[in-house]
Amino acid sequence: MSTREELTRDQKRFAVWVFIAATAHAALVVLSFLMQLYYLRTHPPVKIVTVSLVTLPGTPGPAGGPAVPEQPPAPKPVAEVPAPKPLEPPAPKKIPEPAPAKKIVPEEKPKSDKADLADALSRLKKQTESREAGKGISSSLASLQKKVASQGKGPAQGSGSGGGGGLYGQGGGASDPYKSKIAGIIQNNWTFSEQMLRTTRGMEVYVAINILPNGTISQIRFDQRASSEYLNNSVKVALQKSSPLPALPREYGSKPYWIGFVFTPEGVTK
Amino acid sequence: MNENAGGGIASMLMGSGPVVIAVLAVLIMFSIISWAIIAFKFGYIRKSIKESQDFLDSFFEVQNVDRMFSASENFRTGSLPRVFRAGYVEYSSMRDKSTVTQLRERVTLAVKREVNSESKRLTHLVPFLATVGNTAPFIGLFGTVWGIMSSFQNIGLMKSASLAAVAPGISEALIATATGLVAAIPAVMGYNYLTQKIGQVERDLEDFAPDFIDAYLNQ
């Protein structure tokens, strides 16, 4: 005996249930978003550290890596310069940390120019610590890089040849040891994983930092941001962690100094 | 991936293509309607069973169809009272106009008609649950397949098969399958429960309809 009235009443009841179900679904979706946000806040994602290799500014060739086949293995202290390409560290390898210089550098001569540079840097840092002055490191590094540049095949890569305009790539050729040093420090403080990016295309961050004579980073300026906030933020954190940097060498004068860096998923270049 | 993690599901939805979004919309609609049917039918059938039980208790106690008809006014949703009322209305209208045989035929026919009507009322909308249960996973799978196709196209354009390039697309695409299952599982469970309860009511109708007819005619 389903009269029209009963049918209408059933339809109304059903419509009410549809509305309730729709509301419940919406609430569930909103709740899941909120739960996820809450979970992310309470359980921050585990940091994945991929240590990219630092190509020392002005140093030819890739900055280390597992294999550099074209380099002659034997006694040459500095190997041949491969090609004047921009800095492209090919493989994740950590260069020796510049700051803690307690480690004693092994005596035997490494077979690649990168290793040579690393050893030389370590020795120089040791000297620097003992003397508390930047004379030794500056001259040693300068002579070392001169040596490298003289053995290289072409213009040095990385920091841009010819001292182009702006802060980036103004070093050119065998570059400033101070800049190399701070590049190393920043690289070591940079916690970044390429896997966290959906694409590496266009992922370049151009940052200029203002360094006070005592080495403190007084200002960080993003000249070009990457599309990934993760990359931008990691750069900012790395710079903040790196401050204070070593004091500015005398040749920089007593005024604050601007230095530009380019952060790419492959590493830091100057 | 970390960028996704910031917004989670929202980011994944934003990154999905139009086909996947359409599939998700259909599945969410299915889910809403399924839950509405489950809730509506659950309440309706539960009330029907309860009222039928109460009516039967009264029926065996009173043993008088006229008084039972009056009592059945209180059980308007129950299937058994409704069948009883339909038979009684036919019996009342025909008892002075026809022979016993004719009367039995007419009342039997009226009761049978009402049993069928009740069966239809009870099963109304329930087959939709079976449809959702059967098709939602496939619709979700379609969305996933489409999403993975798009993802592979992007991989080809990026010329990279790294995990970072492959995983987000597949993750986005799999939302469709997950949503399909979320829609299908309650629908199947609700369908099985409601079908079982409706079967129980229908068996009661078949069992007690002849008793009602006898009760009218033996009055």
Domain ranges for chain B: 2-217
> What six digits make up the tokens of A157?
């890569």
According to the model, what pLDDT value does residue B178 have?
92
**Closest partner CB to B5 (pick from A32, A40, A195):** A40
* Rounded-to-integer distance, Cα B216 and Cα B105, Å: 12
ipTM over 0.95: no
Q: What is the pLDDT of residue A139?
A: 62
Assess A42–B contact: CB distance below 8 Å, yes or no. no
pLDDT tens digits for range A55-81? 555 444 444 444 444 444 444 444 444
Residue A146 CB contacts under 8 Å (≥ 6 apart), including other chains = A174
Q: How far apart are CA B34 and CA B16, in angstroms?
A: 25
Contact B36 A21 (CB under 8 A): yes
CA-CA distance, B154 to A14, in Å (whole number)? Answer: 44
Asked if residues B69 and B85 have their Cβ atoms less than 8 Å apart, the reply is yes
Say what the pLDDT of residue A168 is. 58
Closest residue in A to B5 (Cα–Cα): A40
Neighbours of B41 (CB within 10 A): 24
Query: In whole angstroms, how far apart are CA A114 and each of A51, A123, B216?
Result: 16, 14, 107
Domain ranges of chain A: 1-44
Interface probe, candidates B3, B84, B160, B179, chain A, greatest A C-beta count within 10 A: B3
The closest CB to that of A25, out of B28, B117, B168, belongs to: B28
Give B205's contacts in chain A (Cβ within 8 Å). none
Query: Which residues, including other chains, have CB under 8 Å from residue B141's CB and lie 6 or more apart?
Result: B176, B177, B180
Chain A residues whose CB is inside 8 A of the B1 CB are 195-196, 198
Q: Are A158 and A58 in contact (CB under 8 A)?
A: yes
Residue range B73-132, pLDDT digits in tens: 888 888 998 998 888 888 888 877 778 788 888 888 999 999 999 999 999 999 999 999
The answer to whether residue B165 neighbours chain A at the CB level (below 8 Å) is yes
Other CB atoms within 10 A of residue A195 CB:
15
Q: How far apart are CA B76 and CA B92, in angstroms?
A: 19
Local confidence band at A85 (pLDDT 50, 70, 90 cut-offs): very low
The strands making up A205-211's β-sheet, listed across from edge to edge, are A217-224, A205-211, A257-264, A267-269
- B37 neighbourhood in chain A, CB within 8 Å: 14, 17
Cα three-residue angle B8-B13-B15, rounded to 5 degrees: 100
A14 and B168: CB-CB below 8 Å? no
Are B32 and A199 a contacting pair at CB < 8 A?
no
Q: A with B: how many residue pairs have Cβ under 8 Å apart?
A: 72
Using CB atoms, which residue from B3, B40, B86 is nearest to A13?
A: B40
pLDDT digits (tens, 9 = 90+) for B32-74: 999 999 999 999 999 999 999 888 888 877 777 788 888 888 8
In terms of pLDDT, which residue wins out, A133 or B32?
B32
Residue range B145-159: mean pLDDT, rounded: 81
Count the helices and strands in chain B (H runs, E runs). Answer: 8, 0
More confidently predicted of B218 and B195: B195
Q: What are phi and psi of A47, to 5 degrees?
A: -75, 130
Q: What is the pLDDT of residues B157-213, one digit of tens each?
A: 777 667 777 777 788 788 899 999 999 999 999 999 999 999 999 998 988 888 888
pLDDT for A46? 65
